[in-house]
A and B are shown apart, each in its own frame.
Chain A
Amino acid sequence: MVKKVFSAVLIEKKRVAEDTYLLKFNSSISISPKPGQFFLVSREVNRTFLKRPISIHYYYADHRHFKLLIRPKGKGTKDIINVKFGEKLEFVGPLGNGFPLVKNKKVALIAGGIGYAPFAFLLRELKNHGNDIDVYYGEKDKKYLVEYWRINGVKYNIFTDNGSFGKKGNPIEYFLQGNYHRIYLCGPEIMYKSYKENFPELLNISYASFERRMACGIGACKGCSIMVNGQFKYVCKDGPVFRMDDVEIL
């Protein structure tokens, strides 16, 4: 889809876990994003100097409504979750390349913390494509778990660092190689590092979404560099999803 600058009105805001907010928007224009793509987002007034890259959590087939799942960290994300009902935010996008989809295969999704954000949309698309899906989802504590999104027929494996829910530990410790055709990951880079060390033979079928500080979102400013196959690539334009054997993980 062509990248656009557009506004969207906040029509729903829910606290779905500790410090975690689900925001639903109605867009002023028709949009057609792919799972794993993101928007640059800011308020329209009193905006931060740079917009913030936020992945698309869920997207409705009416091409108008979409959701963001945000755990605020700095000023930009705090500004976004503090918007009031009916307030417009400004969006640029959809940006980047999403997760490459497959059909009628066995796949796994591994989420660490707020890395769960792009997976609601991805899960729906994978399910619609007839895939057999296992989810591995880890959080620090059960109070952070975002559990409102469950699909029948998907096997969920939940982990917490302190054992307050599910198995004690993280998804990588318990991940079973299975016969997965493709594995999708989203979480902190330290999780990718652990995955890379533990499952080197799976890297060529594993796709992870990466995060960097970003300015333009379209590959102009060269700010969000990432080393891929010995060359700098840019998370906004070439990513944010990369095949894991290509990427140098920090």
Chain B
Amino acid sequence: MNLNIKLKGLNFKNPLLTASGIFSDDHLDFYQKKLPYGGIVLKTFTYEERLGNIGNRLLEIPCGMMNSIGLANPGIKYLDMSLFDKLKAIKIISIAINDIEEIALFKKVLLKNKIKMVELNLSCPNIKEKKVTNDLRKKKELFCEIRRELKGIIIFAKFSYSQVNKSNIKIIESAGFDGITIMNTIPGIEIDIDKKEFYFNNKVAGISGSFLVPMGLERLFYIKNITDLPIMACGGVKNYKDVLKYIFMGAHLVQIGSAVFNDPMLPVKIERNLSSYLRREKINDINELRGILLK
């Protein structure tokens, strides 16, 4: 049974990726050094260090959770891939670049660390000072410059639910990006009625959870009617069935997010169940299933 996915010259041992922000080298303890992912997407790096948001950062809600982390990271210059040297998986760095001036440092660090693929985070809902823009037209010049400067590196743009529209997809496509990640957490608000105040200091936080799958599938369906760009699907995956649904709808790779918090062994189970499914359905290669509902 082949779970192997080839994408832009990279070879993923299976279609499973970590979503940005959920993986740590400590996970290797659980997997006894044998990683169940085809690739890992590291938590977003910004140009400068970000301490993250103050106040509450997490809340469980029915079927999911809200987070207001605020892209806590040490800054791109401190990217250190040595922890992951021995990992037999494609390493993808999530990056947030807000200005043309920032690109040179990203380029230098990414090349130094031999990074072959990045996910450009256009949609984190948890940064107060940089509002997520739903209209990417004003950023077109930035995207073109990023594409030019990060020559040789595969770039996927990570959209939010509301950023998926024809105009934005065309901008990404014309800038020469290699694919789209759909989707980031959904912005939401929680209120503490006893204190009569917002639960999160930033007011708005990102919602994740299993209910995102139908929304992600719908956005993927929409995108696939507009472009043939490869897709990394992300949102609500809790089992192998969700992974298959995204693949049926045309995704190359599927990211697993907050469900791993409760069950760190989830990707191991999904990998095993995908193989069982292929065997049961007498399908030799998972690639045969990609986009079967789009034909």
B: number of interface residues (CB 8 Å): 32
Grouping DSSP codes into helix (H, G, I), strand (E, B) and loop, the A interface class, with mixed when no group exceeds half, is loop
Interface centre among A5, A42, A222 (most CB of B within 10 A): A222
CA gap between A226 and B27 in the complex, in Å: 22
Interface centre among B27, B61, B262 (most CB of A within 10 A): B262
Find residues 189-219 in chain B having any chain A CB closer than 8 Å to their own CB.
Answer: 209
Q: Which of A42, A49, A213, A222 contacts B63 (CB 8 A)?
A: A49
Residues of chain A within 8 A of B22, CB atoms compared: 216, 220-221
Residues of chain B within 8 A of A24, CB atoms compared: none
CA gap between A231 and B51 in the complex, in Å: 8
Contact A51 B27 (CB under 8 A): no
Find residues 37-72 in chain B having any chain A CB closer than 8 Å to their own CB.
Answer: 43, 51-52, 54, 56-61, 63-65, 67, 69, 72
Residues of chain A within 8 A of B258, CB atoms compared: 49, 215
Contacts known (A3-B30, A5-B264, A48-B60); A222 close to B52, Cβ less than 8 A: yes
Residues of chain B within 8 A of A90, CB atoms compared: 263
**Does B75 count as interface, using CB distance less than 8 angstroms?**
no
Contact A49 B30 (CB under 8 A): no
Task: Kindly provide the distance from the CB of A50 to the nearest chain B CB, expressed in whole angstroms.
Answer: 5
Find residues 1-29 in chain A having any chain B CB closer than 8 Å to their own CB.
Answer: 2-5
**Does B101 count as interface, using CB distance less than 8 angstroms?**
no
Q: Which of B21, B29, B52, B65 contacts A50 (CB 8 A)?
A: B65
Q: Which of B24, B30, B262 contacts A219 (CB 8 A)?
A: B24
Contact A215 B261 (CB under 8 A): yes
Contact A224 B58 (CB under 8 A): yes
A: number of interface residues (CB 8 Å): 30
Contact B60 A219 (CB under 8 A): no
Residues of chain B within 8 A of A220, CB atoms compared: 21-24, 26-27, 43
Q: Mark A193-233, 1 if CB is under 8 A from B, else 0.
A: 00000000000000000001111111111111100000110
Residues of chain B within 8 A of A54, CB atoms compared: none
CA gap between A153 and B140 in the complex, in Å: 73
CA gap between A224 and B67 in the complex, in Å: 11
Residues of chain A within 8 A of B43, CB atoms compared: 220, 222
User: Residue on A with the closest CB to B209?
Assistant: A49
**Does A103 count as interface, using CB distance less than 8 angstroms?**
no
CA gap between A7 and B294 in the complex, in Å: 42
Q: Mark B72-96, 1 if CB is under 8 A from A, else 0.
A: 1000000000000000000000000
Residues of chain B within 8 A of A129, CB atoms compared: none
**Does B265 count as interface, using CB distance less than 8 angstroms?**
yes
CA gap between A217 and B21 in the complex, in Å: 13
Find residues 181-203 in chain A having any chain B CB closer than 8 Å to their own CB.
Answer: none
Residues of chain A within 8 A of B52, CB atoms compared: 222, 225, 232
User: Residue on B with the closest CB to A3?
Assistant: B29
Contacts known (A5-B265, A92-B264, A213-B56); A221 close to B67, Cβ less than 8 A: yes
Contact A232 B51 (CB under 8 A): yes
**Does A63 count as interface, using CB distance less than 8 angstroms?**
no
**Does A124 count as interface, using CB distance less than 8 angstroms?**
no
Contact B262 A218 (CB under 8 A): no
Residues of chain B within 8 A of A78, CB atoms compared: none
A49-B60, A220-B43 known, 8 other contacts, Cβ within 8 Å: A4-B29, A49-B262, A213-B57, A218-B26, A221-B69, A222-B57, A223-B58, A232-B51
Q: List 11 A-B contacts (CB under 8 A).
A: A2-B29, A3-B26, A4-B29, A5-B30, A5-B264, A51-B262, A76-B60, A215-B258, A218-B27, A219-B26, A222-B57
State the 4 A-B residue pairs at the shortest beta-carbon distance, nearest first.
A220-B24, A218-B26, A223-B58, A215-B261
Chain A residues close to B by CB (< 8 Å): 2-5, 42, 47-51, 76, 90, 92, 212-225, 231-232, 237
